[in-house]
Amino acid sequence: MAASGKDKGLSRVGEQCIAEMNRLGMLVDLSHVSHKTMVDVLEITKAPVIFTHISAYSLTNHERNVRDDILDMVKKNDGVICVTFVQNL
């Protein structure tokens, strides 16, 4: 999230980076990006994405975790989510 606290999502340069990563066959890792960035990437990518380490927001209410709407988008994208199991302290 931006320093202002507003989730601005993917910038125009970010969109160009995703297009280039798709062209090169690179995986886009969405771990620790903002919710809006997750949505933006999943709406424009031409290839499956990956979350190399993430937890479910519905189980642990933390902004870095993936929400149910994103889980549905990743399923449609044929992406991969590698789940972490960390004790909530």
pLDDT, tens only, 30-66: 998 999 999 999 999 999 999 999 998 998 888 889 9
Q: Which of 66, 61, 13, 4 is nearest to 39 (CA)?
A: 66
Beta-sheet pairing, 50-54 with 80-83 = parallel
Q: What is the model's pTM? A: 0.87
Query: What is the H or E stretch that residue 68 is in?
Result: helix 68-77
Say whether pLDDT at 88 is over 60. Answer: no
Distance CA(59)–CA(22), nearest Å, equals 31
Beta-sheet strands, E only, within the chain: 50-54, 80-83
The phi, psi pair for 28, rounded to 5°, reads -100, 115
